[in-house]
Amino acid sequence: MLETVEQETGASPQWSIIWLHGLGADGHDFAPIVPELVRPQWPAIRFVFPHAPKRAVTINNGMPMRAWYDIVSMDFRSRADAAGVAESVAQVEALIKREQERGIPLDHIVLIGFSQGGAITLATGLQRREKLAGLVALSTYLPEVDAAAAQLVDGANTQPVFMAHGTGDPVIPVQVAEHSMQVLKQLGFGVEWHRYPMAHQVCGEEIHALGDWLQARFDA
């Protein structure tokens, strides 16, 4: 089981949000966003911020850092190490199962990821036979995009998706993210898509839009 940082917004949480960080960061990275995101009328939520394992990253001269998979090339169609992606998907599934064991039903679990973490969020979502409340992919792309149709399992495309990206992102070009979004739509996913004038980051307007999207999940 991955080590995690956890925050609960109230007693006896009714919902869980599992939030995956980006390359080289850790579970503390997005914890400060909770007060900005959470609204007073929301149900009690357990936020789970896991630490990715440390691994050598090829494009960073083999330097070990927290990463959900190795990045083996600059080509977004093949840059993600498939074995690393599969390993991380399995680790995320273990976290989802633990939330179930703690009394949170699958339809009250949201999976969020930024950058590499968002890639794992989408890869996990493609392969889920039992749907989550929703998938959130921030400043990211679909790894193994050409294999997405083959990886899709029956019913997975009923999970709602929120995607947002910066138009000036120098790490993952917005066109790459838009292609992933279009592929997801072609596979039948309902995707809410947002673009913001920013780099490889998040912004206040994006967090507000994500809050609206989460509100709709809670209301449903």
152-195, pLDDT tens digit by residue? Answer: 999 999 999 999 999 999 999 999 999 999 999 999 999 999 99
Specify whether 154 is catalytic: no
pTM listed for this prediction: 0.97
Of the candidates 26, 29, 81, 169, the residue annotated as catalytic is 169
Is a pLDDT exceeding 90 seen at residue 75? no
Of the candidates 51, 179, 194, 200, the residue annotated as catalytic is 200
Spatial separation of the C-alpha atoms in residues 64 and 154, rounded to whole Å: 37
| pLDDT tens-place string over residues 94-144 | 999 999 999 999 999 999 999 999 999 999 999 999 999 999 999 999 998
| Count of beta carbons in the 10 Å neighbourhood of residue 66 | 20
Both tokens of 169, joined, read 């992102």
User: Do 101 and 132 touch, CB atoms closer than 8 A?
Assistant: no
Specify whether 115 is catalytic: yes
Beta bridge partners of 114: 138
Count how many residues are written for the chain: 220
Specify whether 169 is catalytic: yes
Of the candidates 21, 70, 88, 115, the residue annotated as catalytic is 115
